[in-house]
Structure 1
Amino acid sequence: MADIEFTLDDLKRILTEGAGADEAVDLDGDILDRTFEELGYESLALLETGGRIEREYGIALGDDLLLDSATPRSLIGAVNDLLGLVTEPTR
């Protein structure tokens, strides 16, 4: 079985599809260590993003994990940690 990996491109796609993108934010720039707040995403947008990730990848993130993941790097790492337990994608 192929390994499943959640990437920055996956996160940017889900953020844009679910919560939109502030025109002032360049998601193509170096955003890995910028906070979601700096990027213009508040907690409600992160919860929507988390729901989309859960549905697409078949994992349960939990609200605390989402709210504790302050940057794209931390969220991507948390998702990939959980994906290590998943054997088949649900996409």
Structure 2
Amino acid sequence: MSSTLPPFTLDDLRRVLREAAGADEGVDLDGDIRDADFDALGYESLALLETAGRIEREWGITLDDDTLGEARTPGALVDAVNAHLSAARAA
């Protein structure tokens, strides 16, 4: 993985969510979703698995099941991805 990759952002997550699973018509992903529960945003576990797979391929990291299970909000997932990126860069 390149150490020049920028941090993973909420905008990156919005893009990946749309690519992986689309967006529910009643949800404004461009709004303040950082602390919204993924269930409330219309993303169930299969959509999040697809999202995680895209993140892993694009950013060159591996997200374990515990990370995905504990990241119940977009903000928590962004923070988890960045923690994995930092660990990978330090290795």
Measure how far apart 1:3 and its partner are. 5.3
Counterpart check, 1:25 vs 2:13: no
**Residue matched to 2:44:** 42
| Identical-residue share of aligned pairs (%) | 61
Measure how far apart 1:68 and its partner are. 1.2
TM-score w.r.t. structure 1 length?
0.90
Report 1:1-91 matches (<5 A): 1-2=3-4, 4-87=6-89
The answer as to whether partners of 1:46 and 1:67 remain within 8 angstroms in 2 is: no
Structure-2 separation of matches of 1:19 and 1:3: 24
Measure how far apart 1:45 and its partner are. 0.5
Q: CA RMSD in A?
A: 1.2
Q: How many residues align?
A: 87
Structure-1 separation of matches of 2:79 and 2:29: 18
TM-score w.r.t. structure 2 length?
0.90
Structure-2 separation of matches of 1:18 and 1:59: 17
2:56 alignment partner AA: E
* 5+ residue gaps, structure 2: none
Structure-2 separation of matches of 1:84 and 1:4: 11
Deviating above 4 A after TM superposition, structure 1's stretches of 4 or more consecutive aligned residues are none
